[in-house]
Structure 1
Amino acid sequence: MRIGFSLTRSHLNNPLGASLRPLRLESNRKVRQGPQRENLEEPQKSVFEIGSGLLAPVAVAGLLAAFAMGCSNTAYLAQGEKLYTGAELTIDEKGEIPDKGELEDQLDLLAKPNPNGKLLGLFRFKLWLYNIGFFKETLGEPPVLLQSVTPDRVAARMRTFLENKGYFWTDVSYSVREELKTADIQYKIAVESPYRINGITVTGGETSIVDAIRSTMGETLLAAGNQYDLAQLKQERERIDAALKEKGYFYFSPDFIVFQADSSAGNRTVNLSLHVKKDIPVKATRVYTIGNIYIFSGYSLNRDSVQVPAGDTLSVDGRFYIDLDDKFGPDVIVRSVFFRKGAVYSRINHDLTLNRLMNLGVFKFLNVRFVDADSAGFPRLEPHIYLTPLPMKNIRFELQGVSKSNNLAGPVLTSSFRNRNLFGGAELFTLTGEAGYEAPVGGGQAGGNSYEISARGTLDLPKFVTPFRIDYTSSLFVPKTRIVLGLSQLNRLSYYQLFSVEASFGYNWKGSISTEHTFSPLSMTFAHLTNATQRFDELLSTNPLLRRSFENQFIIGQNYSFTYNDQLKEDHKNHLYFKGSIDLSGNLLQLAQSLFLKRTATPDAPYKLLGTAYSQYSKVDIDVRKYLNTIGQTSSIAGRLIAGIGFAYGNSATLPYVKQFHIGGSNSVRAFSARSLGPGSYRIPDSAAAKSFFDQAGDIKIEANTEYRFPIVSILKGALFVDAGNIWLLREDPDRPGGKFSGGSFFDEIAVGTGFGLRLDLSIFILRFDLAFPLRVPSMPSGERWVISKIDFGNPSWRKGNLMLNVAIGYPY
């Protein structure tokens, strides 16, 4: 028996539609069928260089295990059975092939069935569980045998797929390579350059519907020179249909459009002609305008009829509003309806109406029915909009476990009251109360036990509340004005109690399904420190900057954030997330006071509000994430970059503690304890570590993370990750030497850690265990910060001082 290592693509379903008809492309193709026996080539030898400690023995043990499992899996096969180990594709290029790599991936998906999967690319673990009868039905996977493979059908699917991509007259052959107990299949695909579009013509005379189609061709997707692609032809039909809907052709359908391709032009080009099917319904060729508009609020399927007394019908802006349960004022509903009497039917206005009404968050069901109502020979549609409301009020209690970035975890009891229609205009009022207890887990340090009690009221108004009018009619989403008032008390048992009040007034709106804006012209927080312990007082007395960051003060200013997230876009295989935030405090207030006061504000003599100094600073940060999914979406690579800077000035010498940056912990650089890293090369002296306040904070943060996520078996997932980053100060702090940021040396102060994670995907939540260890420690002397050579898993002392187990709920990003 031989064991080799190979990179095998994952084969998954790729449903393909049949060709658009009529499409007459004739060819003489034959699939050369097997089986044809060929000898396997000797696998190339590889040399693995592994670091010190037990890494080499572990690697050898892993290879021996893989060898043993590989042998044992084939030992369970019956006489004459052969284990199918996968397909190998070879593309024989007879001309220029654009995007060859992507084409290979797409063809690879058609090579069904998939072989039994390998764990970490080494051995078929699920098959082994099946063979030994251990969790056979739940975790195991039956063997994929050569007898179950139908290469002739696979070859036919590949040929059809290639034709749909413009690779006409392609030859696909295959051969079977067999060994004693295993077999794989080799597919050889002879491909010439794809056919390209020479031009497109709209035929069918001078009818109104054909003229309307011609008028849209300036936006055609089928430009001359494009590669022929069946999927693009389908997209063109959808584009034409959408354009016709905006012209009032309500009953038209993309299925009424037919393409024909003529490849006789030569030079590997096709001439496309487009025409409308004969005998389509007459209604599909007529332009419809909007007639009377009826809105039935409070509609229920249990009602025998929606007929109501005439006095209950209101005419508002040309729409008839019929309130069946007297819950909503008409303005908020009518404002969300974009149909206009006498206007040509528009699909855009139709979708705007559906989305705006559902985004009010008060309706359980929404249905729009169009009634034909021809008037004097003019085609008209009467929209009948039926709205079924949700329950307006509810009370909810939750008991949940919470895991935070600072490695504190514990139970939280939450109760909430919600009124979806506080003033009859779909205003959402939420009152929430929380009580929670937290204790250190997974690397948290002693003294972190705390409890918190809070109450928060939020009022969301489904419109912009401004001193001037803002027209917001182009988006599918309802804008919101948000008013927040909250109280909380945090008792950190070994240190202090912190009482805080927050209030804000702001706006939230979505520009599209992927973009969101949040702007608060007024955001205020007041924090009052009480019941500080002697231990905490001693700490503050030795650290002036930390003392200033905890002084009683107002945080009053403005903030704005922009978020881009394309994860809801189904046509995106890979996804991007971006969030950028700007946080300003005290600037407008300081400017106003400086006009009346005859002195300049300083941290030692600050301006005050209601007898309390307020913070003055500017802070900017970004969070960028990229998710790269493999073909088939079975595994992915996730990366994140965080960068931020905050600068205190005028009234303040330092950022408020709650606004400073932290790093380390289960959602950050996992090889270091929560919020223990930095700033810069600073390290808490061992003599002071026991009584030190363990949350390190800074004014600048740079962090980068990447991890490879993959399935192991059933609900168990795995991850390999690397984290890097640090925080720094903008000003020198005598109590934290080495903490100031320096453009020439900051890169040498980047901490690096790596590790392996296990995740239990329980559907409702993910329980995560990440074991990490440092590769680079910035607090070590310069020149000694890389600690890779010191890795020694067999040394108990090394394990105790370096291995960090992070336990958390959910992914880190």
Structure 2
Amino acid sequence: MKRILAKISLFFLTLVLFTSCNAVKRLEPGESLLTENDIFLNGERINENRIYNQLYQKPNSRLLGVPLQLHFYNLARPNIDSILSEKFLQNDQKRERLIILLSRKQLDSYIKSRITFNQWIKRTGEAPVIINQEDTQKSMNRLKSWYWNNGWFNVETDYEIIPLKKKENKARIEYYVETKTPYKVDSISTDIDSRVLDSIYKKHQNDAVIIPGTQYRTLDFNAERDRLTSLFRNNGVYNFDQEYITFDADTINTDFKVNTTIIIPNRQVPDEDSTYRVPFKVHEISKVNVFTDYKQSNRYEPVTDSAQLGNFTIYSFDEMEYKPEAIIDAVFIRPGRTFSDIARTRTYNRLNSLRNFKYPNIQYTQDPEDTTSTDLIANIFLTPQPKYSLGFDFDVSQSNIQKFGIGFGGSLLIRNIFGGAENLELSGRGSVGSSTDAAASKDDDRFFDISEIGADLQLIFPRIFLPFETERFIPKYMSPFTSLSLGVSTQNNIGLDKQNLSSILNYRWTPSRLLTNRLDLINLQYVRNLNTDNYFNVYQNSYSELNNIVQSANVVTNPAFLNNNGRLIIPRGAEGFIESVNSNDNATSGLTPGQRQNVINIRERKNRLTENNLILASNYTYLWNTKDNLYDEEFTRFRFKIEIAGNTLFAISELANFEENLSGNQEIWGVAFSQYVKPEFDFIKHWDLGSNNIFAFRAFTGIAIPYGNANSIPFTRSFFAGGPNDNRAWQAYDLGPGSSGGRNEFNEANMKLAFNLEYRYNLFGALNSAFFVDIGNIWNVLDIVEDEASTFTSFSDLKDIAVGSGIGLRYDFNFFVLRFDVGFKTYDPAKPTGDRWFKEYNFNHAVYNVGINYPF
């Protein structure tokens, strides 16, 4: 901890030194550092980022008002080559001494390293933004252009450079904008030469982006151009592109109105050294040819196998390995239909999603048999991926279960296993580790004393696999898939040691680029605990609490439950004491009502965590995500999931008359099946503030309500709080439930609220930082838990929401982000009311999190 405090002190000392540096020390006489831009719109200062983003020059980025990147840049020597040459090379005697001492090669290497390091400082830092008239004029012109493109055609702009202090070589710039009266769209007419295009335009005229009465915006005209291009090309006009569309905007003597004419001439056709124009035509697809094993090496070879399916022809240079129906199902370009860009895009997307082919190539040619020159032949060239693919994984980890662990795994992917583009993936995984649980391994001196091994099988079909037709409500363009998976795993010396068997029948379809649907029709999980006698070795807090009760002055219990040190024997003594209290027999007496309730709570938790679980559930997930790609910094993501378990087994049990256990729950093969409903809502929003500044927000809420054959939720389906991707001021499983203070090693519950806010910014180079606030907690509700501190009974319990805040560093390696966050307990609900704010807000009680990529 002393070392950490020293590093933090060093960081702040460095920050102070940076703030004391002279930001303009690298400026030449007569140069001025830009410190601030101000834009005045019609006499009033504005703060809109979209307007300030138009400026060509912006002040150096700042953190807490300090231009850190500029100060870092100023650490570099401006004339490092001359300095090093003068210091080491121009003095002959000194140079010879250094060569004798180091050798010429080492001296050259040292000089080169100094130059390289100096260049790195410059690249990582930020050069001073120096005001010059040319760049300021560009900024003013950009402002004028922005307002002109938004309808203020008579806008006037000006600027003034205002020095702050002559000796500091600093200045600010004020930009002045007078918009005057804006122009609005009035009449819209057309001048379209082709009757085909004119007919299509009139049919879809109501979808126009340019609307009379609205203020002129150049972006609306660009959007209308894109709409018309897409409209024509998706209605068969193969030769059309957006360069044919122009707009004539008349603003002369119109009283600030824009009269617009959409002009589309006939198609231009080259003819040797000249060109001529012909009307556009609607084109139809006459044939579709698919080459399933096309490669550059065989492009001139003859095909040896083919199949005909309607007007589709499937070709293969070798023996055909794909069922024609499977290929045609992925092709949306249909003979007899008009040409459409949408059909081509959907074909690209579907073929890519099969994971059987490299990026497909679709080409159109005129059908030589057609005398009207309107028929097209679509040729689709597919290059297969290797039939077999191997993958390997290896990682090193640390958790609250193991102090050191090594994980490894491998997978085999077999493509097109049944000839219908189905994929089969076999994978295995394993890990070995060193346990943090001394009690569990006290008789074992091996370093690697815990292990886990598992295997998974997944079969994916490129269709909805159901006994009835689904094309009406899940058409093929939604890229439907069915996957059937089976997984087994076993753990040794990890907690209670578990065996896990799972099987999932899943359907997935994507109606649009933004929306994904997932339905687990069958989600079966069976968990068997192999070492329940180890419970009190794993959950030491419960064991310690029992011993504290036993050793109370007022408590008398059966000596057979205790060892020579007066502590409960594991497991026989601890379990005997609990059952004695529960049955209220004479073996134990003297407990207070609070102590008795604590023992009952421990018994309930032990029974729940040691019982075997049988879960047969169905769940549906709705995912809306506007993120375009990995680098999209402004997006919205919404996920809704609902899971319902046990209803099918409950219905069967009513008919089959299953046996009941002592708690009155029905069992299958000696295991009580779970029955619950579990909805979850997850919302994420990112705002791009410009200059690598991002504001991110997440909200999550979930609840799992047991009913029917269950009065609690299985551990594997419950919620936990804390950790590097949740509330970072608490470690994983340490927060809650409610105000109970995380009494157990693994605290979980069946209701969760979580809210996260994070402001991300760039420090310099690839190093980023963030301030964050994490809010949330877990509670028990409508289940068997009766502990008042852990349960949610009314909205007044929201006072037990925990608040954590902190700061983080993130280094961007391009392909992943390494993250380090420090979280401070800002509002701790485990503390007494009135004593919860900022009581442990220091580095001694901080939680340090290391993670990969951003938490949300």
Shift of 1:187: 1.2
* 1:130-149 → structure 2 map (5 Å cutoff): 130-133=74-77, 135-147=120-132
| Distance 1:407-1:249 versus aligned 2 partners, 3 A rule | farther
Paired residues for 1:66-81 under 5 Å: 67-69=19-21, 72-81=22-31
Supply the AA of the counterpart residue of 1:605: G
Q: Name the structure 1 match of 2:729.
A: 671
Identity %: 25
Say if 1:417 and 1:430, in contact at 8 Å, map to a contact too. Answer: yes
CA distance in 1, matches of 2:456, 2:488: 6
Q: Distance in 1 between matches of 2:798 and 2:227?
A: 51
Contact in 1 for aligned 2:806/2:824 (Cα 8 Å): yes
**CA offset at residue 270 of structure 1?**
0.6
Go from structure 1 to structure 2 and tell me whether the alpha carbon gap of 1:195 and 1:401 turns closer, same or farther (over 3 Å shift): farther
Matched ranges for 1:262-661 at <5 A: 262-264=250-252, 266-277=254-265, 280-281=268-269, 282=277, 285-305=280-300, 307-309=302-304, 312-325=305-318, 326-373=320-367, 375-377=370-372, 379-401=374-396, 410-437=405-432, 451-471=451-471, 474=475, 476-493=477-494, 495-532=495-532, 533=534, 535-536=537-538, 538=571, 542-568=602-628, 574-597=634-657, 604-632=663-691, 634-661=692-719
Give the gaps of 5 or more residues in structure 1.
1-56, 95-99, 794-798
* TM score, norm. by length of structure 1: 0.83
| Residue 161 (structure 2) aligns with | 176
Residue type of the alignment partner of 1:535: N
Report the equivalent of 2:248: 260
Equivalent residue number for residue 827 of structure 2: 776
Name the structure with the higher helix share. Answer: 2
Q: Deviations over 1:206-240 (max 9, x none)?
A: 73333333333221111111221122111111111
1:459-481: CA deviation from partner (whole Å, max 9, x where unpaired): 11111110101116756442111
Deviation at 1:613, TM superposition (A): 2.3
Whether contact under 8 Å (2:658, 2:667) holds in the other structure is: no
Q: Is the 8 A contact 2:194 2:279 kept in 1?
A: no
Which residue in 2 is equivalent to 1:248? 236
**SS of alignment partner, residue 302 of structure 1:** helix
User: Contact conserved, 2:329 with 2:476, CA < 8 A, in 1?
Assistant: no
Moved more, 654-663 or 578-587: 578-587
Equivalent runs, 1:195-234 vs 2, <5 Å? 195-204=183-192, 207-234=195-222
Contact preservation (8 Å) 1:732, 1:739 = no
What is the CA–CA distance in structure 1 between the aligned matches of 2:346 and 2:604, rounded to whole Å? Answer: 56
**CA–CA distance in structure 2, aligned partners of residues 404 and 480 of structure 1:** 36
How far apart are 1:136 and its partner, in Å? 2.0
1:240-278 CA distance string (max 9 Å, x none): 121112321110111101100111353321110111136
Q: Paired residue for 2:136, among 130, 147, 151?
A: 151
Residue of structure 1 in register with 2:794 after alignment: 743
Residue 3 of structure 1 corresponds to none
1:139 deviates by 1.9
Q: Is the 8 Å Cα contact of residues 43 and 176 (structure 2) preserved in structure 1?
A: no
Separation in 1 of the partners of 2:12 and 2:516? 51
CA contact under 8 A between 2:736 and 2:778: conserved in structure 1?
Answer: yes
Distance 1:202 1:295 in 2: 41
Any idea what the Cα deviations from partners look like across 1:543-601, whole Å, max 9, x if unmatched?
A: 223322431231112122111111127998731112121222211111122134299x6
Q: State the shift of 1:197 in Å.
A: 0.4
Taking only aligned residues, the RMSD between alpha carbons, in angstroms, comes to: 3.2
The one-character-per-residue Cα deviations of 1:653-698 (angstroms, maximum 9, x if unpaired) are 21111111111111111111211111111136xxxx6xxx500111
CA offsets, 1:466-505, max 9 Å, x none? 0101116756442111101111112354x32111111111
Closer/same/farther in 2, CA of residues 511 and 209 from structure 1, 3 Å limit: closer
> CA, structure 1 residues 710+403, in 2 after alignment: closer, same or farther (shift >3 Å)?
farther
Unaligned runs of 5+ in 2: 1-8, 78-117, 270-276, 442-448, 539-569, 579-601
- Kept in 2, the 8 Å contact 1:298–1:324? The answer is yes
Normalised TM-score (structure 2): 0.79
Identify the match of residue 110 of structure 1 among 46, 51, 54: 54
Larger deviation: 105-114 or 722-731? 105-114
Letter in 1 for 2:309: V
* Aligned residue-pair number: 729
Q: Is the 8 A contact 1:359 1:477 kept in 2?
A: no
Q: Deviations over 1:281-300 (max 9, x none)?
A: 35661111111211111001
SS across alignment from 2:832: coil
Q: Which amino acid aligns with 1:519?
A: L
Q: CA deviation at 1:439?
A: 7.0
Aligned equivalent of 1:35: none
CA–CA separation in structure 1 for the residues paired with 2:497 and 2:12: 55
- Amino acid in structure 1 at the alignment position of 2:23: N
The letter of the residue matching 1:770 is D
Q: CA deviation at 1:371?
A: 0.9
Q: Which residue of 2 aligns with 1:806?
A: 849
Larger RCO (CA under 8 A, 6+ residues apart) = 1
CA distance in 1, matches of 2:130, 2:803: 45
3-state DSSP class of the match of 1:561? strand
The CA distance in 1 between the partners of 2:185 and 2:773, in whole Å, is 47
Q: Distance in 2 between matches of 1:144 and 1:603?
A: 77
1:641 maps to a residue whose letter is: A
Q: Which moved more, 1:667-676 or 1:346-355?
A: 346-355
Judge which range, 610-619 or 118-127, deviates more. 118-127
Distance 1:303 1:380 in 2: 28
Deviation sequence 1:73-126 (CA, Å, 0-9, x none):
2233333332232422111169xxxxx979x43332232233322233323434
Partner SS state of residue 371, structure 2: coil
- C-alpha change, 1:358 and 1:200, in structure 2 (3 Å) is same
1:726 aligns with 2:726: no
Alignment match, 2:816: 765
Secondary structure of 2:835 counterpart: coil
Give the CA deviation at 1:384: 0.8
Contact 1:616–1:649 under 8 Å retained in 2: yes
SS in 2 for 1:150: helix
**2 CA distance for matches of 1:650 and 1:279?**
71
> In the alignment, residue 341 of structure 2 is paired with which amino acid?
R
- Checking the alignment, whether the CA contact within 8 Å between 2:73 and 2:127 is kept in structure 1 is no
